[in-house]
């Protein structure tokens, strides 16, 4: 059986469109599946649509989080409640084409434990979003050696890979990065990102920036090492500048002071504040881990598990 996990946030009637299209694709492909819809604290009637779909189709299960914990927590909740032999994570706004799932399943049956969908295009993104997304993926790949260039959250994980992922203990998770970090036999397929089926994207520049910071700080300590390297570079520059100043003073030449000093103060002050900001982000992550609060809280569930073995897996 295939589990399909889809986070939902203020999608409203889009839930019905998503369930209908997914059912048409997977039923047409002859796949046995369950659909786990995770409502991430939506402020609209999304949960009512999830409940209605669960009442109409025994394959649909709904999980409502007690508030908006963020997409990463919603994905984790869906993964922990999935009962399938393989799990597909997909966006519910239909920008990820469900038609790619049968090919993912075929690759899994051929032996792949992780099947990743990579973008051929960036439909629906503005210039800032495209440039920022590419810059983050390349920076993340360079700092962590985990290839996220053109990567998406749309991917299939076989049960062994899923169980390995769920064993990772950190509070701040980054699904796209950790599902690549775990390794296992991998395969990729190319997809075309589609326009949203309805409404506007819920992602703002601020939320995307927070996701990028969370992804980097929860996955790698490279920014801390970068601060150290830049600090060493400034130290070397200071030694050279100090030597030059001393030589000119010994030679009796006047030193042009104010512009150079002001520029150095501005540059070093900016670097110090940025460095403190980076350290603060890591301290915040340590604080979250030490508190040990749950990564999400479930308020309500709707589910119809038809087979006994599915009930056993769901309880686990």
Average pLDDT (279-307) is 70
Cα 293 to Cα 102, 172, 216, 272, 296, distances in angstroms = 37, 11, 21, 32, 8
Tell me how far apart the alpha carbons of residues 133 and 189 are, in angstroms, rounded to a whole number: 20
Domain CATH number, residue 92: 3.90.550.10
Residues 6+ apart with CB under 8 A from 102: 25, 26, 29, 31
Q: What is the reported pLDDT for 258?
A: 56
- Per residue in 114-132, pLDDT (tens digit) is 888 887 766 555 555 566 6
Rounded to the nearest integer, the mean pLDDT of the chain is 75
Q: What is the reported pLDDT for 273?
A: 72
Decide if pLDDT at 307 tops 80. no
Residue 262 sits in the same domain as residue 286: yes
Neighbours of 298 (CB within 10 A): 14
Residue 212 sits in the same domain as residue 132: yes
Q: What is the reported pLDDT for 137?
A: 64
- Per residue in 32-47, pLDDT (tens digit) is 889 999 988 888 888 8
- Domain with 266 in it: 222-291
Tell me how far apart the alpha carbons of residues 69 and 74 are, in angstroms, rounded to a whole number: 7
Average pLDDT (52-78) is 86
Highest-pLDDT range among 121-130, 133-142, 263-272: 263-272
Q: What is the reported pLDDT for 58?
A: 86
Domain total for the chain?
A: 2
- Per residue in 165-212, pLDDT (tens digit) is 888 877 767 777 777 777 788 888 888 877 765 556 555 566 666 666
Residue 121 sits in the same domain as residue 246: no
Q: What is the reported pLDDT for 57?
A: 85
- Per residue in 211-220, pLDDT (tens digit) is 666 666 666 6
Q: What is the reported pLDDT for 312?
A: 38
Tell me how far apart the alpha carbons of residues 264 and 229 are, in angstroms, rounded to a whole number: 18
Residue 117 sits in the same domain as residue 89: yes
Residue 141 sits in the same domain as residue 274: no
- Whether this prediction's pTM lies above 0.85 is answered by no
Residue 251 sits in the same domain as residue 305: no
Residue 111 sits in the same domain as residue 138: yes
Q: What is the reported pLDDT for 316?
A: 41
Decide if pLDDT at 134 tops 70. no
Average pLDDT (256-276) is 68
Residue 235 sits in the same domain as residue 100: no
Residue 212 sits in the same domain as residue 248: no
Residue 16 sits in the same domain as residue 148: yes
Decide if pLDDT at 23 tops 60. yes
Q: What is the reported pLDDT for 255?
A: 55
Residue 208 sits in the same domain as residue 168: yes
Decide if pLDDT at 231 tops 60. yes
Taking Cα atoms as reference points, which of 97, 89, 54, 69 lies closest to residue 9? 69
pLDDT tier for residue 306 given thresholds of 50, 70 and 90: very low
Decide if pLDDT at 12 tops 70. yes
Average pLDDT (8-25) is 86
The tokens of 198 are what? 């309805």
**DSSP for 28-96?**
HTT--EEEEEEE-S-SSSHHHHHHHHHHH-TTEEEEEESS---HHHHHHHHHHH--SSEEEE--TTS-S
Q: What is the reported pLDDT for 156?
A: 92
Residue 141 sits in the same domain as residue 41: yes
């Amino acid at each position: 059986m295939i589990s399909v996990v889809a986070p939902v946030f203020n999608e409203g009637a889009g839930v019905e469109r998503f369930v209908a299209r997914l059912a048409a694709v997977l039923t047409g492909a002859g796949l046995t599946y369950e659909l786990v819809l995770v409502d991430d604290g939506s402020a609209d009637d999304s949960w009512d649509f999830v409940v209605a779909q669960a009442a109409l189709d025994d394959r649909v299960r709904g999980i409502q989080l007690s508030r908006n914990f963020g997409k990463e927590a919603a994905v984790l909740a869906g993964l922990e409640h999935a009962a399938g032999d393989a799990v597909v994570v997909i966006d519910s706004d239909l920008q990820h084409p469900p038609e790619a799932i049968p090919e993912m399943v075929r690759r899994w049956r051929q032996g792949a434990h992780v099947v990743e969908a990579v973008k051929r295009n960036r439909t629906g993104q503005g210039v800032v979003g495209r440039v920022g997304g590419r810059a983050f993926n390349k920076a993340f790949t360079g700092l962590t050696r985990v290839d996220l260039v053109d990567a998406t959250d749309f991917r299939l994980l076989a049960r062994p890979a899923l169980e390995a992922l769920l064993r990772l203990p950190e509070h701040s998770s980054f699904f796209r990065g950790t599902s690549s970090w775990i390794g296992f036999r991998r395969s990729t397929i190319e997809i075309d990102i589609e326009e949203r089926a309805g409404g506007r994207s819920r992602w703002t520049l601020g939320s995307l920036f927070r996701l990028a910071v969370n992804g980097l700080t929860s996955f790698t300590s490279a920014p801390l090492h970068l601060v150290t390297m830049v600090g060493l570079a400034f130290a070397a520059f200071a030694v050279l500048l100090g030597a030059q100043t001393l030589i000119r003073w010994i030679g009796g030449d006047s030193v042009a002071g104010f512009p150079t000093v002001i520029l150095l103060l501005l540059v070093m002050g900016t670097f110090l504040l940025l460095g403190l900001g980076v350290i603060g982000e890591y301290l915040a992550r340590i604080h979250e881990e030490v508190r040990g609060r749950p990564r999400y809280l479930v308020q309500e569930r709707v589910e119809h598990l038809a087979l006994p073995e599915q009930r056993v897996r769901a309880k686990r």
